[in-house]
Chains A and B, each alone.
Chain A
Amino acid sequence: DVKVTQSSRYLVKRTGEKVFLECVQDMDHENMFWYRQDPGLGLRLIYFSYDVKMKEKGDIPEGYSVSREKKERFSLILESASTNQTSMYLCASSTTGPTSGANVLTFGAGSRLTVL
């Protein structure tokens, strides 16, 4: 019962290429997030979204953009990939309602991007 699906598990791209990472959730969650996970640095927030067409910068938004045209889908875009963007990218979603699961992140399996 996969609930957060990231379209690509492994990608290899060249410097300067445009990269799209797609994420879909089926839990009707309002909030969606993109993190990157690097050894020794943990998870760092790139962008998040509270609602359709809304987005907010996280801690490391430089070099990235996002799109949320539908509630269930949140895309991360690297306009011009660089080698320092080689990383594991994690998508997550959460709800903010008055439920026991509020504010708990459900993560996707991750997308490992290598930029050559």
Chain B
Amino acid sequence: AQRVTQPEKLLSVFKGAPVELKCNYSYSGSPELFWYVQYSRQRLQLLLRHISRESIKGFTADLNKGETSFHLKKPFAQEEDSAMYYCALSGLGGRRALTFGSGTRLQVQP
């Protein structure tokens, strides 16, 4: 079975502070990991995926297979980063549906 764990329901930081949203996964095969974001009154949308190895809106995430983690990081938080963030996993070669974590709400205070 595949599982995604986001241990923090809420993360509150001040503008300019570093941000790390934690994500741990459980999957026996080779996973593909994603971060999705939902801004207020907007649709859920892709933020980044590990195979792209790119930085989006200043966010990065590195897949650590040894620790089975895919934490999302940004060195300097902005108020517009306030949103709900979901980590998700797809088993490569397995079912194409994503398994999502429970989500972390990021609040960036001025």
Residues of chain A having any CB pair with chain B under 8 Å: 31, 33, 35, 40-45, 48, 50, 56, 58-59, 90, 94, 96, 103-105, 107-110
Contacts and interface: CB of A to CB of B under 8 A. Distances in A.
B36 to A, nearest CB: 8
Interface of B: 6, 9, 32, 34, 36, 43-46, 49, 86, 88, 90, 95-103
Contact of B95 (A43, A56, A90, A107): A56
Centre residue among B97, B98, B99, B101 by max chain A CB count within 10 A: B97
Contacts of A103: 32, 90, 96
Which are the 10 A-B pairs with shortest beta-carbon distances?
A42-B102, A43-B100, A107-B44, A48-B97, A42-B100, A42-B103, A107-B43, A45-B97, A31-B96, A104-B46
A105 B101 contact: no
A3 B34 CA distance: 20
12 contacts: A33-B97, A35-B100, A41-B102, A42-B6, A42-B103, A45-B97, A58-B97, A94-B96, A103-B96, A104-B49, A107-B43, A107-B44
Given A31-B96, A56-B95, A40 B102 contact: yes
A33 B96 CA distance: 10
Contacts of B6: 42
Given A42-B86, A42-B101, A43-B86, A90 B96 contact: no
A44 to B, nearest CB: 8
Contacts of A45: 97-99
B99 A108 contact: no
A109 B45 CA distance: 10
